[in-house]
Amino acid sequence: MSLPITIRLGARARQRIAAEGIQAADVAIVPAAAGGPKGLILHGLDCWMFGHWLRAAPRPRKLIGASIGAWRMAASAFDDPLAAHKRLARLYAGQRYPAKVTPAYVSQTIRALLDELLDGRAAEVAGQSNHHLSVLTARGVGALGNTSGQRWREMAGFARAAAGNVLARRHLASSMERVVFHNPRDDAQWLRQPFDAFNGHFVGLNTANLRDALQASGSIPLVLEAVSAIAGAPEGDYWDGGLIDYHLHLPYQRDPGLVLYPHFSDYIVPGWLDKSMPWRHTRPGPDHPALDNVILVSPSPDFVASLPNGKLPDRRDFKAYGQDHAARQRDWTRAIAESERLAEAFAAWCERPDLAHTATF
């Protein structure tokens, strides 16, 4: 019987696990990708990891995410992460929109979702003593520096950004900067030394800016409104962190610990605009130094084929199901329930790591 998960290991991670196995105390970083509803398929892994396995081995850990990944990691930073993840899954799957919707309407809906997720406990999440949250956002510069909420300015600015990105990813840096909102107990030093073309800003998380940072991290251009006037952050319009860091190809090798990366895909796409450029996808092949200490866990093709419609939940479902909200919620809820199989399979692998059933980056 095929496993419901695929596991890929960096060279250092493979060597360490071969020699010592894997313990929760080894995990230093947990990344979480952007990707909208696709992130729902990681619910079972999130609940097992943060509700049980990692919880039993407390230590300072870096939790970093963009878009829904940031929301998942925020749920992980609660004192009761299991309840928070269940709340997030319910709220996310329960979204309902009319047939014709404006960015303002979607933004208001997401703001209410995040308020209910945080449940008045922003201080608990922003300053968690062990699990240190970092939220990735993209701050517009140049043509995207101040769109004033005008749709034509946004369209022109993002068209210019996309055109530059086609030529080379480094050109995207003329349109946006990476802004990291981080737990004040962790200064995100591992990200401060430059590792790509993007300028970086670092802002401490607190009760005044957590909700806005999470909202900005998921603000898809032309679908939601930009977020501005975030407390403690540089002025400007803030957008979805996935624009720069879609699957979070970050300098993980700078940390001596292991990076446990539950992901909905078995490859890594640097930025959202790189999705249609397979030559920029990180797949098994030559060594990738940044992924040297990474354990990437993702659904297997057979598992995905067993889900409703034979695929992961995704943003296109809002259009495909139209106003049949009940059918979409039914199928998403089934996918969320099936995700427990991923957690069971990975928990068993952690007890007895079988390197013969893993691939290498």
Residue 140 belongs to domain spanning: 5-351
Flag whether 66 is in a domain. yes
CA nearest to 14, candidates 252, 336, 265, 354:
354
Query: Residue 334 corresponds to which tokens in the numbers above?
Result: 């089934």
Q: What confidence category does residue 3 fall into, taking pLDDT thresholds of 50, 70 and 90?
A: confident
Q: Give the three-state DSSP class for 267.
A: coil
pTM exceeds 0.85 for this model:
yes
Q: From the centroid of its chain, how far is CA 21?
A: 27
Q: According to the model, what pLDDT value does residue 148 have?
A: 66
Flag whether 356 is in a domain. no
CA nearest to 90, candidates 332, 338, 318, 343:
332
Flag whether 291 is in a domain. yes
- In the chain, the number of structural domains is 1
Flag whether 360 is in a domain. no
Please check the confidence at residue 151 and state whether its pLDDT lies above 90. no
Q: What confidence category does residue 283 fall into, taking pLDDT thresholds of 50, 70 and 90?
A: low
**pLDDT top residue among 94 and 277:** 94
Over residues 226-249, the mean pLDDT reads 96
What is the residue whose two structure tokens read 């940072």?
213
